[in-house]
Amino acid sequence: MTDLAAQRLFRLLDRAFWLIWLGFPVLIWILVRQTLDAPAQLAALAPDQAACLEGLPMVAHFSLPGRLAFWGQFGVNMAVYAVLLVLTHQIIHRCATGQVFVATMIAALRRIGLVIAVYPLVDLGLTNLAVFVYAQAGDVATWLPDFALDLPVIAVGLLLVTMAAAMRMAVRLHQDAELTI
């Protein structure tokens, strides 16, 4: 692919990314509606199982502390996704303008990697905390801590951090080679 074709592709991706920005609030709205409407939707799907469905934990029926824990974790998740979208859009925009191996682009790649590598740990802690709050508030019967880390996601984040470091090293080597000529 020629540089001109690559730049055209990145410009197209840069423009198309605005569709993702338009879709992000819609996605949040759909997730909130599905969460709040779950009891009614389940009751409509299985009217003969109403008594069984009442025993399921549903956010719409949680206590105030349970709802605060759930929506707090939801807000943190959406904020992390928004940060990843901002950083990804910055990288695409820099590539579209021909700024591929520049410090700001490499730093954005490194930040994406760090967020992706660290967030599974944060999410595991938040999930355990939220379920503990649910159990203390009586929204769920028991609290069992979860220790399942998303190791492939952590590995991808570390790969991106490594790629950013390698790119930074390549830029320095290239600059050194230009100085020696």
pLDDT digits (tens, 9 = 90+) for 22-67: 999 999 999 999 888 877 776 676 666 666 666 667 787 889 999 9
Q: Name, in order, each residue with C-beta under 8 angstroms of 177's C-beta and a sequence gap of 6 or more.
A: none
- Out of 8-22, 70-84, 87-101, 140-154, the most confident range is 70-84
In 46-102, where does DSSP find H-type helix? 50-54, 64-96
- Answer whether 117's CB lies under 8 Å from 157's CB: yes
Give the DSSP letter of residue 47: G
Predicted pLDDT of residue 57: 72
The residue among 26 and 14 whose pLDDT is bigger is: 26
- Out of 5-19, 33-47, 87-101, 155-169, the most confident range is 155-169
Q: Is the pLDDT of residue 151 over 60?
A: yes
**pLDDT grade for 74, boundaries at 50, 70 and 90:** very high
Mean pLDDT of 91-101: 84
Predicted pLDDT of residue 94: 86
Domain membership of residue 130 as a residue range:
3-180
Share of the chain above pLDDT 90, in %: 49
- Torsion over CA: 47, 50, 56, 62 (sign): positive
> Exposed e or buried b for every residue in 26-55, given b needs 16+ CB within 10 A?
eeeeeeeeeeeebeeebeeeeeeeeeeeee
**pLDDT grade for 173, boundaries at 50, 70 and 90:** confident
Task: Count structural domains, the chain.
Answer: 1
C-alpha–C-alpha distance, residues 58 and 118, integer Å:
29
Q: Name, in order, each residue with C-beta under 8 angstroms of 83's C-beta and a sequence gap of 6 or more.
A: 115
Predicted pLDDT of residue 134: 92
Predicted pLDDT of residue 49: 67
Tell me the helix, strand and coil percentages in the chain, rounded to 5: 85, 0, 15
